[in-house]
């Protein structure tokens, strides 16, 4: 059995490939060259650049206070980072308000979500119109009994909204799915883990900058060929943060036509994926609409910190390294991925 996804290539798209284990440092040497050589031998106007591969581990972190509010005005000395229990020296620090953002929106269209699709379509369209900036890009995937790519990379909120017109309850036919992200085999239920794995491994792993997977689902997986561990590992290797929106129709779970009583059975699994990647679980209920959740998510993605360090363990043996961030203030708590895989820069 093979999983596959169509690659996307358009003029003007960010094409540089890297992971959190590598950053390309561009050193401008034009001034130095001019000082060492006669003026007539200097290049006319182009800058001479050298690209250096550096094993920089990049970590995205959100910080909350005791009340759960986001804190966005911290400095480098407010953070201490540890790898496998050993303190690391922070080499790079920035507030992530302007760096390019790549978003993969994954929407559950299984039978249990059929009454929520119109609400999701409207709220997600509004979200993209507000969150997308000039250098940002996003793609849209639906998943039920099959996984389908509805809109490939674009920075157009209009095209993303048009793509959401393709949201429909998954038909559950066997064989290869109709979209460009096919799965194969017997009909299944809700292939949540397959969808997360594909988004991380095939779409986000070779992208640069900040990478986010937003998944709207009740958290129930039925029939994925990938396990939850595979989905988490793929997201960690892609340096992608998973934000889960726990949204379910109470009528689909026998709670009657009105109100939210009880809940879907998948909240714990969503929390496991989000916690492992430094994300957060948002819950939609009677007092917390999907529109409000998207607004909070937008604020969180614009309130992150980027922290880079050179690991004191120079081996690139593919091993898993545990990460921990401690805050200078005990009133604050950092939300960060649990670890990373020390793979070689070009390892896939």
Convert the pLDDT of each residue in 176-194 to its tens digit. Answer: 333 444 444 444 678 999 9
pLDDT above 90: residue 248: no
Average pLDDT across the chain, whole number: 79
For residues 224 and 17, which has the higher predicted lDDT (pLDDT)?
224
At residue 347 the predicted structure's pLDDT band, cuts being 50, 70 and 90, is low
pLDDT above 80: residue 169: yes
Convert the pLDDT of each residue in 196-217 to its tens digit. Answer: 999 999 999 999 888 999 999 9
Neighbouring CB atoms inside 10 A of 181's CB total: 24
pLDDT above 70: residue 114: yes
For domain 101-296, say whether CATH 3.50.50.60 is its number.
no
Q: Which helix or strand (DSSP H or E) is residue 124 part of?
A: helix 117-131
In sequence order, which residues have a C-beta less than 8 Å from that of residue 197 and are 6 or more positions away? 3, 226, 230, 231, 234
Is the whole-model pTM more than 0.85?
no
pLDDT above 70: residue 20: no
CATH 2.60.40 residue spans of the chain: 23-97+304-341
Q: Is 131 exposed, middle or buried (0-12, 13-18, 19+ CB in 10 A)?
A: buried
Q: Is 111 exposed, middle or buried (0-12, 13-18, 19+ CB in 10 A)?
A: middle
pLDDT above 90: residue 27: no
Strands 240-246 and 210-217: parallel
The CATH number assigned to the domain with range 23-97+304-341 reads 2.60.40
Token digits for 321?
Answer: 């390294």
Strands 56-65 and 304-310: antiparallel
- Contact 332/71 with Cβ under 8 angstroms? yes
- Contact 186/78 with Cβ under 8 angstroms? no
For residues 253 and 265, which has the higher predicted lDDT (pLDDT)?
265
CATH 3.40.50.410 residue spans of the chain: 101-296
Q: Which helix or strand (DSSP H or E) is residue 293 part of?
A: helix 290-301
At residue 255 the predicted structure's pLDDT band, cuts being 50, 70 and 90, is low
pLDDT above 50: residue 7: no
For residues 60 and 185, which has the higher predicted lDDT (pLDDT)?
60
């Amino acid at each position: 059995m093979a999983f596959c996804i169509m690659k996307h290539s358009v003029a003007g798209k960010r094409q540089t490939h890297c992971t959190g284990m590598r950053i390309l440092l561009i050193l401008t040497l034009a001034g130095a060259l001019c000082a060492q050589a006669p003026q007539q031998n200097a290049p006319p106007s182009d800058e001479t650049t050298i690209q250096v591969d550096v094993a920089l581990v990049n970590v995205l972190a959100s910080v909350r206070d005791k009340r759960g509010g986001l804190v966005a005005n911290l400095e480098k000395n407010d953070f201490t980072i540890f790898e496998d229990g050993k303190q690391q020296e922070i080499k790079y620090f920035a507030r992530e308000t302007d760096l390019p953002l790549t978003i993969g929106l994954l929407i559950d269209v299984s039978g249990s979500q059929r009454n929520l699709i119109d609400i999701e379509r409207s709220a997600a369209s509004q979200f993209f119109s507000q969150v997308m900036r000039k250098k940002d890009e996003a793609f849209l995937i639906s998943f039920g009994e099959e996984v389908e790519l509805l809109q490939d990379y674009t920075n157009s909120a209009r095209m993303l909204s048009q793509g959401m017109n393709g949201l429909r309850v998954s038909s559950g036919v066997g064989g290869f799915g109709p979209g460009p992200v096919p799965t194969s085999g017997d009909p299944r239920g809700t292939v949540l883990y397959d969808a997360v794995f594909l988004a991380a491994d095939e779409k986000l792993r070779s992208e640069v900058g900040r990478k986010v997977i937003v998944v709207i689902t009740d958290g129930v997986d039925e029939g994925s060929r990938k396990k939850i561990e595979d989905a988490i590992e793929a997201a960690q290797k892609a340096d992608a943060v998973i934000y889960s929106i726990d949204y379910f129709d109470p009528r689909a779970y026998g709670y009657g036509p009105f109100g939210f009583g009880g809940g879907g059975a998948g909240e714990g699994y969503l929390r496991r994926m989000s916690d492992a990647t430094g994300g957060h679980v948002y819950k939609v209920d009677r007092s917390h609409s999907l529109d409000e959740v998207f607004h909070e998510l937008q604020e969180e993605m614009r309130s992150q910190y980027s922290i880079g360090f050179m690991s004191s363990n120079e081996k690139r043996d593919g091993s898993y390294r545990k990460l921990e961030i401690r805050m200078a203030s005990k009133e604050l708590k950092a939300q960060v991925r649990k670890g990373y895989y020390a793979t070689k820069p070009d390892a896939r």
